[in-house]
Structure 1
Amino acid sequence: MLPLLVTAAIIRKEKQVLITRRPEGSRHAGLWEFPGGKLDDDASPQDCLRREIREELDLEVAVGPILEVAYYRYDWGPVLVLAFECRPLGNRIRNLEVAEHRWVRPEALADFDILPADRPIIEKLLCS
């Protein structure tokens, strides 16, 4: 089975990164993650990420280089996460398709119940 390709935005502000909590009724509801979403067949990862961040948070971002690629096998199937460095192009965030968002210092991410597929990204953030 091929992995589900997903993108994740590592959006930084000062010394913090943005995380979002998955809404009720979604797979893995209530868990925290780096915002992003599934890669469509007809979009580049960067275009997918810009679209997802706009749809989830009403925020425009500039997508930079890949920070990390993480693989995880859930009971329902494998996931390959492409995590990109991103820069917010505005200050206003609206929780459109997420339960909430928070700006968190990377060393405080261990205090959050983060999706397993995103955990290797935290390790990379702590080393960079």
Structure 2
Amino acid sequence: MKTIHVTAGVIIHEDKVLITRRAPNENFAGSWEFPGGKIEPNETPEDCLVREIKEELNIDVSIEKFCTEVTHDYGHMIVHLMTYYCTIIKGDIQISVHDQYKWVKINDLVKYDLLPADIPIVKKIMEEYLDKKQ
């Protein structure tokens, strides 16, 4: 089975995190995820993430630090997902491949129908977020 290497951005602003919903014509339509995409040949995960977020959301981000990585078997493919905390440095969000985006309170992320590979990321964000608040 093929492993697909992807990146995702955890973009936090004022105690909220950005999530995007997959459009009706996409695999896993209607599911929420952290924005990102497939790593191209000879591309670093960081370069991929900056490129994908620009393509999908029309914003420029800076990568702050590594968050976590997840490998998930979807049955027909394995996804290896590397996630990074990011900050928007320029632009206003304009979606092109998703049908919605939302800024969600970190504690409310669990209320959304997130893709299975994104759930461990939520747990990591919540752990780190709660550690900062104490």
TM-score tier after normalising by the smaller chain length? over 0.9
Instruction: Give yes or no for the alignment of 1:25 onto 2:25.
Output: yes
> Could you state the TM-score of these two structures normalised by the residue count of structure 1?
0.95
Aligned counterparts, 1:40-119, within 5 A: 40-90=40-90, 92-119=92-119
Per-residue deviation at 1:90? 2.7
Match of 1:12? Answer: 12
Alignment RMSD, CA only? 1.1
> Could you state the TM-score of these two structures normalised by the residue count of structure 2?
0.91
User: Which consecutive unaligned segments of at least 5 residues does structure 1 have?
Assistant: none
Distance 1:24 1:14 in 2: 30
Per-residue deviation at 1:72? 0.7
Instruction: Give yes or no for the alignment of 1:3 onto 2:3.
Output: yes
Partner SS for 1:89: strand
Spell out structure 1 runs of 4+ moving beyond 2 A: none
Per-residue deviation at 1:77? 1.4
Aligned counterparts, 1:30-41, within 5 A: 30-41=30-41
Percent pairwise identity: 37
Partner SS for 2:59: coil
How many matched pairs? 128
